[in-house]
Every structure is written in structure tokens, then in C-alpha cells.
């Protein structure tokens, strides 16, 4: 599984960075940076990030990374 962020939808609100700080962060310009792959132990945080996004821009893809 990997994290996919729709960059057209993303407005850099950063709620994902609070829900799942291990995988999402805002850089100094306020733009989202994230890792596509993640550790299985963070899955709850990442699902929380997916739900939190006010633009619903984050999805989890089951395709092998």
C-alpha cells in the first residue's frame, strides 16, 4: 500500500501533518511533503489523516509501491 495525494485537490491545510506526523509535513513555504510508503504500525494515524483532509485529497492505493 502507498499514500497517494491528489496535488490538484490539496490546498496544504496540513491536518494530515497533525494526524500522521511521521508521514506528512508542511515545509517552510507551507507546502505539503509526504512519504508514499509507510510503516504498517502507523496505519491508524494515516487513516486519520485520510479522513481529516478537508479536501479529501489523500487516498491509500493498494498497488504495490
Partner 1 sequence: MTVDGPVVGVVGTGIAGLQSANAVLERNPDARIVIFGDETHRTYNRPGLTKKRYQLLTSGTTITDELKVDGAASDSATWRLGTRVESADLYNKVLQLRTGETFDYDSLVIATGVRPRISAEDARECAIHMHKTLRDLDDAHHIHRDLRTGTELTIVGSGFVACELASLATEYGCAVAMLEARRRGPFERVLGERIATALGRWMTRNGVTFLTGDSARDRLCNGDSSAHSEPSSDRSLLVEAIGSVPNVEWLHGNGLDLSDGVRVDEHMRVPECADVYAAGDVARYPDPWTAESLTRREFWKNAIDTGDLAGRSLASSLGCGSKISHIRYFPLMSTEVFGLRIQIAGNPKAATSMEVVRGDLDRLDHGVVVTFSKEDLLVGVAYLDKGARLNSIYIDLVKTLKAHRR
If binding is defined by CB under 8 A, does position 56 make contact with partner 1?
A: yes
If binding is defined by CB under 8 A, does position 23 make contact with partner 1?
A: no
If binding is defined by CB under 8 A, does position 1 make contact with partner 1?
A: no
Of 38 and 53, nearer to partner 1 (C-beta) is 53
If binding is defined by CB under 8 A, does position 4 make contact with partner 1?
A: no
Q: Count CA atoms within 13 Å of residue 39 on its CB side.
A: 7
C-alpha cell at 49: 489523516
Cβ neighbours for 19, distance < 8 A, ≥ 6 positions apart: 45, 46, 48, 49, 51, 52
Q: Which residues bind partner 1 (CB under 8 A)?
A: 9, 11-15, 17-19, 21, 25-31, 51-52, 54-56, 59
Amino acid at each position: 500500500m502507498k499514500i497517494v495525494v491528489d496535488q490538484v485537490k490539496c490546498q496544504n491545510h496540513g491536518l494530515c501533518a497533525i494526524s500522521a506526523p511521521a508521514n506528512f509535513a508542511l515545509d517552510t513555504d507551507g507546502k505539503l511533503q509526504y512519504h508514499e510508503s509507510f510503516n504498517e504500525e502507523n496505519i491508524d494515524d494515516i487513516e486519520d489523516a485520510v479522513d481529516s483532509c478537508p479536501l479529501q485529497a489523500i487516498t491509500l492505493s493498494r498497488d504495490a509501491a
